[in-house]
Amino acid sequence: MLSRVAENLYWMARYIERAEDTARLLSVNSHLMLDLPGRLPLGWAPLIEMTGSLETFTARHSDFEERNVVHFYAPIPTTIFRLSPPLPVPVKT
């Protein structure tokens, strides 16, 4: 039983590392898009191609907009918003 727990911990750590790497790729590409001049033909398609997800992405989305790419790699389930309490609204005095 201990070996099964150790194996599950190992795979969980691998998945967490993959998620961190994907988040880093999204962050770097986002900052790169902000810093480079607008005349350069950069976009989000190279990120999809780099991760080997081109076929899956094109089956779900028609264009390589930032919103589609971020949603593809980091979908936000709506249940999180339903379970969390609403943020307090500051009162101006």
Write the pLDDT tens digit of every residue in 10-47.
999 998 898 888 888 888 888 887 777 767 666 888 88
What is the rounded average pLDDT of the residues 56-77?
Answer: 84
Of residues 81 and 42, the one with the higher pLDDT is 42
Distance CA 87, CA 61 (A): 32
Degrees, nearest 5: CA angle 23-53-37:
60
Average pLDDT, the chain: 79
Domain ranges of the chain: 19-75
Instruction: Supply the DSSP string of 18-57, one letter for each residue.
Output: HHHHHHHHHHHHHHHHHHS-TTS---SHHHHHHTT-HHHH
pTM (2 decimals)?
Answer: 0.62
Of residues 65 and 1, the one with the higher pLDDT is 65
Q: What percent of the chain has pLDDT over 90?
A: 5
Q: Do residues 42 and 22 make contact, with C-beta atoms less than 8 angstroms apart?
A: no
